[in-house]
Amino acid sequence: MSEQDVAPQGAGAGESVGTIVAPQRPDAGEPIGTLAALSAPVIGVPDDPRTGEPRIPWTVRVASALCYVGVANVVGALLWVYWSAVPKEGFADASWLMGQFVTEPGSLGRVLLAVAVTVITLLIAVPVAITGYYAWTGYRWTRISALVGAALSFGALTLNVYAWPTILWTAAAAVLLWTPPTARYFVAWWARRHPEQHFAPPTTNVYYGPLPRYRRD
């Protein structure tokens, strides 16, 4: 690399000119260290040419789909509970939880039971839906949220038989998110979001003022 003379703007003929000498590289073909924009691709997880992002494995695709199926399943079961509870004589049979208490039509107890089955459904659906979305986008913490959703899905037993398959969907999704292809996919996304930093070597050979060969001693 050649020497570069840097003259401050407006310097006169009698003023000294500062000269900066960049450090010489022993090998001209050696790359200069930089702050890497992206990490090297993880082995076994090629980038999708359409998106430029890590290719989604089938395990993540199926797990996300199962999460959404589970959400639709439990929400549909809740709607059936609402529909079955409309007739006065059908309230106790609308869900397992409602059948455990003796209530009168229009009583506060029935209102609280309706709120209870709604809260149970939300406790199941919310973590499962979050897991399905963020697993698709490569967040590793969804393995934990999948286990939480699978555990909460047992609350479907308090609704009706139509809600019970939700337990199977969420459990299968949790298993798929702990498989090796999914783990590699999460590692690839983690490396993409947290690239390794490479810094250029420090500049030590800096001269101020005229170079020795330009001095008149």
* For residue 214, pLDDT beyond 80: no
Give yes or no for a contact between 73 and 166, defined as CB atoms under 8 angstroms apart.
yes
Closest to 170 measured CA to CA, from 206, 209, 142, 137: 142
* For residue 28, pLDDT beyond 60: no
| pLDDT value, residue 204 | 75
| pLDDT value, residue 43 | 59
Residue 191 confidence class, pLDDT cut points 50, 70, 90? confident
Percent with pLDDT over 70 in the chain: 78
* For residue 36, pLDDT beyond 50: no
Residue 135 forms part of a structural domain: yes
Residue 120 forms part of a structural domain: yes
Q: Average pLDDT in the 73-85 region? A: 96
| pLDDT value, residue 203 | 74
Residue 156 forms part of a structural domain: yes
Residue 27 forms part of a structural domain: no
Domain range for 66: 58-190
Residue 97 forms part of a structural domain: yes
| 5: helix, strand or coil | strand
Angle of helix 180-193 relative to helix 58-85, nearest 10 degrees?
100
Residue 118 forms part of a structural domain: yes
Residue 199 forms part of a structural domain: no
Residue 54: strand pairing partners: 47
Total domains, the chain:
1
Percent with pLDDT over 90 in the chain: 53
For residue 82, the one-letter residue type is Y
| pLDDT value, residue 6 | 42
Residue 141 confidence class, pLDDT cut points 50, 70, 90? very high
Residue 188: strand pairing partners: none
Contacts of 9 (CB under 8 A, 6+ apart): none
Window from 168-172, 176-180, 205-209 with minimum mean pLDDT: 205-209
* For residue 195, pLDDT beyond 50: yes
Residue 41 forms part of a structural domain: no
Q: Average pLDDT in the 193-201 region? A: 74
Mean pLDDT of the chain: 81
What Rg, from alpha-carbon coordinates, does the chain have?
Answer: 33
* For residue 44, pLDDT beyond 90: no
* For residue 42, pLDDT beyond 80: no
Residue 5: strand pairing partners: 19
Q: Average pLDDT in the 113-122 region? A: 96
| pLDDT value, residue 125 | 97
